[in-house]
Every structure is written in C-alpha cells, then in structure tokens.
Structure 1
Amino acid sequence: MLTLLAPLAMMQAAPPNADWNCEEPTRQQEMNWCAAQEYEKADLALNRQWKETAAAMKARDVAWQDNSMRPDARPGFFASLLEAQRAWLKFRDAHCRLDGYYARGGSLEPLLVSTCRTALTEMRTRELRELAQANP
C-alpha cells in the first residue's frame, strides 16, 4: 500500500479525553486530534480508491497488450499511475509540512498539517476515481 493504512481500531478509538467533541472542538489539542481523525478517514478512502484504480489500470495494460495494432514501448497504465502516486505522496507531505510552518513550533501546527493533508488526500481520491472511470 502506498500510504499508511490506519488500523480500523484507531479510527474507532475514543478520544484521549472523554469530554472532547469533534463536532465542536474548543481546545487546541482537541482540534489537533479531531483534524488527525479526519485525515485518517480521508487516507482510508484514498487507499480503497487506490485499489480500484490500480485494478482498472492493470486491466487497461492487459487490453493494450492484447491489441497488436498499438505497440508501444512507453510505461504502461499501472506503472505510470504508480510513479504518479509516489510523486504525489512526496508532494502532499512536503507541501503540508510547509503549510504547517505558518505556525511552526506552535500548538496550531499539527492542525494546519492535518487539515492540508485531508484536503489534498480528498482531492487525490477524486482524481483516482476519475482515472478509474475514464475510457481511454
């Protein structure tokens, strides 16, 4: 798997403090924890979509190879997807680290990083879904 797949138990874990509420967090630690939980949900969705998109790209590779009218020495659909995903992961992590630097060293930094990672991960999940559904 290309991203860390959070264990399901972690997703369903109770908050570190019983009075924390992610619907209306009021303390910075609570906000940071809730933002991290949102990122974990987005990451799980990305990993589910990755499996579907990877399977679709592998199927396209087979269909491409089976069509003798289209010989091509370039990397296949899956190899290109894998290369792109690896590059995207590096981009996401570096970009969101930089985004967190607006509060570098402060208690707000984890919230900024998690929020950025959630937004980019959700966008990437949509992109992967579109790739899987496209008809080349």
Structure 2
Amino acid sequence: MTLRHSLLLATASLIVSATVAMAQEPEVDCDNAQTQMDMNICAGRDYKTADNELNAVYKKALEAAKETDEGFKDMGEQYVGAVDALKRAQRSWIGYRDGQCELAGFEARGGSMEPLLVSSCLADLTRKRTAELKAFYEQEN
C-alpha cells in the first residue's frame, strides 16, 4: 500500500467516524437542561417534534383541499384550486418562517445562544402554522 492510499484510507476513516459521532445525539434531560449546549439540543428537539406534527397535519389539510376541489369540479375548473392554493401558501409560509427565525437569531449572532433562539422561533411559528392548518381541515369536515 502506498503512502497516498494510506492517507486516503485514514481520511475516509475519519470522515466515517465523524459522521457517526454527529448522528448520535447526546443524552440530555430536557426538563433539567443546565448548559447552553443542552438547551440548544432541547430546543432543536422541540422544533423537530413541532415539525413532525406539522407534517402530519399538512397531509390532512392536503386531503381536505383535495376534497374541496372534488366538490367544486362539477361547477368548472375556475372553481378548483384549493390544493394549489394550499401548496403556494405553505411554500410562502416556509420562506417567511425561515427568514423570521434567522432574524430572531441575530439577537445573539455568532454566540452560543443563537441556535436556541432560532430553534425556539422555528418551534413557535411551526406550532402556530399547525393550528392554522388544523383549523382549515376541521372547518372542511
């Protein structure tokens, strides 16, 4: 084995090790988070939970929009478009959410608290959007 092959193998090994280490999230008691790192991890988890809920609710809202479109199909194509409107609204909302939460992070830009501020904002806005989507499909039923 040449030196070049040895270096490539060592580099690949380091990359794999780093990837595995990053994939394993540390154990953190989010009810008693004390360090900034723990608080950042917990805020990230909170956002992930909120995002998973949003995705489930969005699927239900999409089904409700499809039913709405089906109900108006007989009246003509100009009355159909709930699915497209929902998709446009969601794409626009994602852009707003991401920009707004990036802005929220500027309060501690470059500091260890920035991820907490951004994740907390993402979780908050995501929960609000989830409630909006629930209201949409619950009024449809």
Higher Rg:
2
Structure 1 position 83 matched with structure 2 position 91: no
Q: What does residue 31 of structure 1 align with?
A: 39
SS in 1 for 2:78: coil
Query: Which residue does the alignment assign to 1:105?
Result: 110
Give the 5 Å matches for 1:38-77.
38-66=46-74, 68=75, 71=76, 73=78, 76-77=81-82
State which of 119, 126, 129 in structure 2 corresponds to 1:121.
126
Identical-residue share of aligned pairs (%): 39
- How far residue 15 of structure 1 moved from its aligned partner, in angstroms, is 4.5
Structure 1 unpaired stretches of 5+ = 1-12
C-alpha distance in 1 between matches for 2:100 and 2:80: 27
Superposed displacement of residue 84, structure 1: 0.3
Unmatched segments (≥5 aa) in structure 2 = 1-22
**AA in 2 matched with 1:33:** I
4+ residue runs over 6 A deviation: none
Higher helix share: 2
Query: Does the alignment pair 1:21 with 2:29?
Result: yes
Cα deviation, residue 93, structure 1: 0.4
In the alignment, the residues of structure 1 paired with residue 56 and residue 140 of structure 2 have an alpha-carbon distance, to the nearest angstrom, of 20
The two structures, once aligned, show a CA RMSD in angstroms of 1.8
Paired with 1:57 and 1:78, the residues of 2 have a C-alpha distance of: 5
